[in-house]
Amino acid sequence: MRPVAFVTGASRGIGAAIAKALAADHDLALTSTARGGAKATAKVCRQLGAEVLELQHDAASRKDADRIVKAVDQAFGRVDVLVNNAGIVVRKPTVKMSDDDFDRVVAVNLSGPFYLVRRLLPGMIARGQGRVINVSSISATLGSAGATGYCASKWGLDGLTRALAEELRGTGVLALSVLPGSVATDMLEGSGFQPRMTADEVAGVVRYLATQAPAAMQGSRVEVFG
């Protein structure tokens, strides 16, 4: 039986690359904001041998979290690897960022991962194995002007990883964070940074964590600078 990986934000960029990196030996649940947004990714993954379930998903919605977790359970019966990759950035100076801008970024980047973790973790613990991999950002450590909400939410996501790691010791379930630097994706546009790596390179790190990471890596923050 092939393990099942659940990858959010899989329509393009890092999420699409992660899905493709896992497709050879995982079945996949892939989410995107737009209906059919992960169609191209899913097509490639099926060609690589994966059974794929595509799902539209508003990461900030609790109801959507309930709906998609139910759909994945009906399709596969379990999730072995959760990759919380979906994320957004609003590039504005803090004094020009609205409360709604900030709240939306935090809802997608931090609350959304928590919603899925809370719903999927009981099954992983019951089976005595699993991986929760949160795709954070080096901006959580270094900061980035004009991206207050993004940096704060990614710092919070790392905190979620570390707290989960303490709760999960001895369960067979690992909680891990990946902190990419400047990656050649749409999100880098307008940031002022030059890309130092490709999405495929980040996906290779995620694949390692999903398939080979030892228990001693529990709670690790893996920085990927390129």
Residue of 2, 21, 14 lying closest to 135 (CA atoms): 14
- Are the CB atoms for 48 and 23 separated by under 8 Å? yes
Residue 176: predicted pLDDT: 99
Residue 187: predicted pLDDT: 55
| The total number of residues written for the chain in this structure | 226
Question: How many domains in the chain?
Answer: 1
* Structure tokens given for 53: 């379930």
Return per-residue pLDDT of the chain as tens, 226 residues: 899 999 999 999 999 999 999 999 999 999 999 888 899 999 999 999 999 999 999 999 999 999 999 999 999 999 999 999 999 999 899 999 999 999 999 999 999 999 999 999 999 999 999 999 999 998 788 878 888 999 999 999 999 999 999 999 999 999 999 999 766 455 556 545 556 678 899 999 999 999 999 999 999 999 997 6
CATH at residue 158: 3.40.50.720
Q: What angle do CA 98, 96, 190 make, to 5 degrees?
A: 105
Residue 184: predicted pLDDT: 47
pTM > 0.75: yes
Domain extent for 185: 4-224
User: Which residue among the candidates 6, 102, 115, 150 is catalytic per the annotation?
Assistant: 150
115 catalytic residue (yes or no): no
